Amino acid sequence: MNDIIIAYPMGDFDDGFVSRKSYESDFVGFLSQYASIVKLPFIYIEEGCEFDPDPDYLLVNIDTWGLKLFLYREQGKIDMPFLIHFHVIYSQHVYISYLLPLLREEDIVVVGSEYSKKCLLNISDSFDVPVIPLSLDIDEIVSIYKQNAHVGTEKKTIAYLGQLIKTKGIDELIECMPGIVAKSKQDVTLNVIGPLSGGDIMGEISDYVKKLQKRTDELGVSHHVNWTGVLMGDKKYQVLSQSDIFVNPSTFKIETFGVVNTEALACGLPVVCTQWSAFNEIITEGKNGFLVDVREAEDGSYKLDRGQLISRVTNLLNDGALLDKMKEEARKTAYKYHYRELTPRLMGLLKKKEVAVKGQWESIKKKTFLDFHHLFKKQWLKTIGADSTDYKTYQQMEKANGLQIKFDSQQRHEVFKYLSGR
Cβ neighbour number for residue 240 with a 10 Å cutoff:
28
| Residues with Cβ within 8 Å of residue 251, at least 6 apart in sequence | 167, 169, 274, 276, 294, 301, 302, 303, 304
Nearest to 173 by CA among 111, 228, 250, 97: 250
Contact call for residues 79 and 357 (beta carbons, < 8 A): yes
Task: Report how far apart the first and last C-alpha atoms of the chain are (Å, whole number).
Answer: 43
According to the model, what pLDDT value does residue 20 have? Answer: 53
Burial class (CB in 10 A: 0-12, 13-18, 19+), 279: buried
pLDDT in tens, 288-313: 999 999 999 999 999 999 999 999 99
Q: For residue 251, which phi and psi values (nearest 5 degrees)?
A: -130, 35
- Per-residue pLDDT band for 18 (boundaries 50, 70, 90) equals very low
Contact call for residues 233 and 67 (beta carbons, < 8 A): no
Whether pLDDT at 338 is above 60:
yes
Tell me how far apart the alpha carbons of residues 48 and 300 are, in angstroms, rounded to a whole number: 46
Half-sphere exposure of 318 (CA within 13 A, CB side): 12
Tell me how far apart the alpha carbons of residues 192 and 210 are, in angstroms, rounded to a whole number: 13
Amino acid at residue number 185: K
Cβ neighbour number for residue 311 with a 10 Å cutoff:
17
pLDDT in tens, 71-120: 999 999 999 999 999 989 999 999 999 999 999 999 999 999 999 999 99
Q: Which domains does the chain have, with CATH numbers?
A: 5-134+347-420 (no CATH), 138-337 (3.40.50.2000)
According to the model, what pLDDT value does residue 156 have? Answer: 94
- Strand (E) or helix (H) holding 315: helix 306-318
Min mean pLDDT across 15-29, 109-123, 362-376 is at 15-29
Whether pLDDT at 16 is above 50:
no
Tell me how far apart the alpha carbons of residues 308 and 317 are, in angstroms, rounded to a whole number: 14
The predicted model scores a pTM of 0.94
Burial class (CB in 10 A: 0-12, 13-18, 19+), 112: buried
Mean pLDDT of 239-268: 96
Tell me how far apart the alpha carbons of residues 8 and 65 are, in angstroms, rounded to a whole number: 12
Q: What share of the chain is helix, strand, coil (3-state, %, to 5)?
A: 45, 15, 40
Q: Please, what is the average pLDDT of the chain? A: 92
Give the relative orientation of helices 18-31 and 259-266 as an angle to the nearest 10 degrees: 70
Mean pLDDT of 214-238: 96
According to the model, what pLDDT value does residue 152 have? Answer: 53
Tell me how far apart the alpha carbons of residues 75 and 362 are, in angstroms, rounded to a whole number: 8
Identify which has the larger pLDDT, 397 or 153. 397
Nearest to 274 by CA among 250, 302, 307, 301: 250
- Per-residue pLDDT band for 263 (boundaries 50, 70, 90) equals very high
Mean pLDDT of 272-282: 98
Whether pLDDT at 12 is above 70:
no
Mean pLDDT of 335-353: 95
Cβ neighbour number for residue 136 with a 10 Å cutoff:
22
- Per-residue pLDDT band for 59 (boundaries 50, 70, 90) equals very high
233: left (phi over 0), alpha (psi -120 to 50) or beta: left
pLDDT in tens, 42-58: 888 888 888 888 999 99
According to the model, what pLDDT value does residue 151 have? Answer: 62
Eight-class DSSP state of 53? S
